[in-house]
Amino acid sequence: MGIILAIIIFGFIIFIHEFGHFLLAKLNGIEVQEFSIGMGPKIVGFQRKETQYSIRILPLGGFCAMGEDETEDGESVGNFNQKSPWRRISVIVAGAGFNFILALIGAIIITAWIGVDKPIVASVEENYPAVEAGLQAGDVIKEINGRSIHLFRDATTYNQFHQNEEIDLTYERDGVETTVHLTPQWDEESGMYRYGYSGGGYVKTGFFETIKYSFYVVEYWITSTIESLKMLVTGQIGMDSMSGPVGIVDVVQDTYNQSRSGGASLVFLNMLNLMILLSANLGVMNLLPIPALDGGRLVFLIIEVIRGKRVPPEKEGYVHMVGMVCLLLLMVFVMFNDIQRIFL
């Protein structure tokens, strides 16, 4: 069941991503030669006007192939490269943008359904830094080390990403903001450094608050992805912590197994939450300035805007080709890690 659910979730996220490219290409008068979900040999497809729509055998990605070949006279109404840099930038950015919109829609559904974890302290534990600093139940956490806190999970995740780090925590009580300094304390039971405060779960919100907090939920997943990448680059976490398609299937299967006893609604909510995470993650990853990704193409377009002329296509193509080879090697490495972690 995990494989089927993972294919459905990942396939839908990819569809939305590629549809973003497709829609903006059409709006900018760019010819789309093929719109495909999946990679490798084609399973099914059909032609409509100038576009071939297809589903391919490997559910590991997709593509929106636009007319980019240079014509003999260098002119083509529907050619991607004949459009202005800003039009091309809008097409490239649209993929990640639609992923963020999908994550927002999912967040609105979940927030309207079960509520939101506002950053309100529910309890403080004796003999921990929080109670010694004067923190009380009902206090609203506003900032940690200058970073705004909108959800209780913001505070929890910040503490997880910054273990054994002293913090300046700002909270609000009766309309008055107070900042206290907290030094974490090691907790043998959890195996983590803790400050000794906890949240009170989810609370329902009105319509406008639901929309507002849904934006905060998407911001949370984007920020968490960026923080994880920073930790990976700085060596705080190893490459073996990365997960690819095999790892995602395993997570989906575990989530399904843990949720099905709660009925179809709980399964749906947890799958939707995974979709929000993966969609936000895909949006961020695609905007990284890495050759062969959307972010890599954006770098060349920004250079073109600054220089006033395009980078020679053969040079750009070579850079993207090298980037694609590196990404494929990374994918093989991550997949091997997933298999080793799960099955060995």
Per residue of the chain (344 residues), give pLDDT as tens: 778 898 899 999 999 999 999 999 999 999 999 999 998 899 999 999 889 999 999 887 899 998 765 544 445 667 888 899 999 999 999 999 999 999 999 999 999 999 999 999 999 999 899 999 999 999 999 999 999 999 999 999 999 888 889 999 999 999 999 999 999 999 888 888 999 999 988 999 999 999 999 999 999 999 999 998 888 888 877 766 777 777 888 889 999 999 999 999 999 999 999 999 999 999 999 999 999 899 999 999 999 999 999 999 899 999 999 998 998 888 888 888 878 777 76
Domain ranges in the chain with CATH number 2.30.42.10: 117-201
Tracing tokens 């494989």 back to the chain, one arrives at 3
CATH topology of domain 117-201: Pdz3 Domain (2.30.42)
> 295, 289 in Cβ contact below 8 A?
yes
Catalytic residues: 18
pTM strictly above 0.75:
yes
CA of residue 244 relative to chain centroid, distance: 14
Tracing tokens 């099914």 back to the chain, one arrives at 44
**Entry field: residues in the chain:** 344
Q: How far is 52 from 171, CA to CA, in rounded Å?
A: 56
Selection from 50, 56, 58 nearest residue 36 by Cα: 56
Q: Identify the H or E element spanning 56.
A: strand 51-66
What residues have CB less than 8 Å from 137, skipping those under 6 apart?
A: 121, 122, 123, 124
Q: How far is 303 from 310, CA to CA, in rounded Å?
A: 8
